[in-house]
Every structure is written in structure tokens, then in C-alpha cells.
Amino acid sequence: MRQLLRRAASWAVSVAQALAVWFIATTFLVEPFRIWPTGSMKRTLLVNDFLFVNKLLYGAEVPFTHARTPPLREPAHGEIVVFKSIEEPGLRLVKRLVGLPGDTLAMEAGALRRNGVVVPEPYAVHTGTSHHESSAVLAKIRAWQLSHYVGADREHYAPDVNHWGPVVVPRDSLFFLGDNRDESYDGRYYGFVPRENVLGHPFVVYFSFDDESWRPLPFMTAVRWNRLLTSPD
């Protein structure tokens, strides 16, 4: 009986240690993240890509506090970032960082300008889909942009998703766009994201499968083998 209790106690300690290591690792170091059904980052990231996110790079959140660990460095232009939505608490988004504090941003016919210069964006996808947003959506876009607008005619400023600005990114804020520009609900609609909402940088695709091939075909044929262990950029 004593031997059985010792084994049970040893097993419980091993499980507790494993859980502690898992909790520390996923809280401060690396966390798995899945791309749910949204094409906003397509071709760079696909639906049902499973990613490992580096949380240490930009500073990880300390649970149950507002504190963060010191970042190894700050986010940079062009990086893919996972962050908390400013509209839906609990929702995590992944987009590309295109604007840092102090940047002046504008878009002309879908082409992004930063500080007066057109940004080369080989990753951006333009499908040519025409956008006809409702007046309510356009009013929402104008409302968040107006207080940051630095153009000449504020009174008649009428932005849309592919033609807006110039606006200046405020302090401690970032601006994100999806790579699939014509199919992305991104910063053009909801505005700037606080720096504190940043969660991490996805650095590797550890698993991926084709949703359309998943049910009718065997498991192995649905796996996107060519994406495994690749780095999104």
C-alpha cells in the first residue's frame, strides 16, 4: 500500500511539474495559434494554418496583471503580428504591421504610402474586387480617422477603404493591414491598435491542412506538407 501511495505521489508530482512547465512556456515563450476561416492574410497565411507564436520577442503579458516582461525588441515595419482585437474582447487577430508611432499613412487607389513614399508590398494581394461599403461603414472609417487626419480639407474629407489619409499613427499605437487587401477587415475599418494589445510574432507553421480536402479524402492527403515547418513572412 505504501509503495502504491509513493508511486501515486511521484506520478502526481511529475504531472504537476509538466503542467507548470507547459504553463510557463505558453505564457511567456511560445503559444500555438490557429488561423480560423478568414482569408485576410491569404497567400501568406492560409485557413487552417497552425502557428507557433513567439511571445517573448515583444514582451509577454504576465497573467492576472497589466505587467509585461521586457521585450527583446519592438515590432518593426512589415512584420506579421498576433494581437488582441479592439472590438471583440477575447478575439485574437493576425495581420501585417505597416504603421509605427509617428508614421504618416495614406492609401491611394489601394497603394499604401508611408511618410510620403509608396511602400513596396510584394506580399499584398489585390483581387480587383470592387468595394461598395455602406454609408454607415464609410462614416465609421471617417470617424476614427478624422482626429488623426493631417490633410488640408477636414470638412470635406471622405475616405474609403482604398483611398484615405494622410493620418498620423499616435503614440503607443500601431496600424495593421491584411495581406489580402480586398478581402480583409483590418485597421482601415477599426483604426489603430494599442501597443499593449500585441501578443507575439508567428515564426513557424507547424501544421496545416486543406479544409476542402479534409472530409472526403483520407487524413494524410489533406495535410499541406509543403507548408510544414515554413516561416511566414
Q: Which of 10, 55, 85, 95 is catalytic?
A: 95
Contacts of 26 (CB under 8 A, 6+ apart): 32
d(CA 190, CA 174): 12
**Which of these is catalytic: 40, 173, 184, 208?**
40
Instruction: Please name the residues in contact with 111: beta carbons below 8 A apart, sequence gap of 6 or more.
Output: 118
CA distance 210 to 219: 10
Please give the Cα distance from 55 to 65 (Å, whole number): 16
60: DSSP letter: P
Judge whether 134 counts as a catalytic residue. no
Respond yes or no: is residue 84 known to be catalytic. no
How far, in Å, CA of 204 to CA of 99, rounded? 23
What residues are labeled active site?
40, 95
